[in-house]
Amino acid sequence: MPQTLLDDIDDQMSHKSSRSKWIRGACELKLGTDVTEVADLTDIQLVNVLRNRCNYEGAQESILKSLLEILSKSS
């Protein structure tokens, strides 16, 4: 995997998160596998799940983007 992609993944994770768990969760989400361990996801991952769930537009997308920015700054 390119280092830039790993850096982007690290930016999305909390300090206590496992990169391999994050990648596993991302793969499961992409493949449509049911992720039963929501507790394993970081707040940022949960927001990204919502953003990827459907194509939000307008106020909904603005709220999710704002929340993602806030969470990214506090990580």
Note the pLDDT tens digit of each residue in 16-43.
Answer: 678 888 888 888 878 877 655 777 778 8
Mean pLDDT rounded to a whole number for the chain: 80
Q: Is the dihedral of CA 53, 55, 59, 65 positive or negative?
A: positive
- Residue-level pLDDT at 16: 67
Q: What's the domain count of the chain? A: 1
- Contact (Cβ atoms closer than 8 angstroms) between residue 60 and residue 66: no
Instruction: Give the range of the structural domain holding residue 22, as residue numbers without chain letter.
Output: 3-74
CA proximity to 52, closest of 74, 24, 22, 32? 32
Q: Tell me the pTM.
A: 0.47
The tokens of 31 are what? 């493949």
pLDDT at position 75: 62
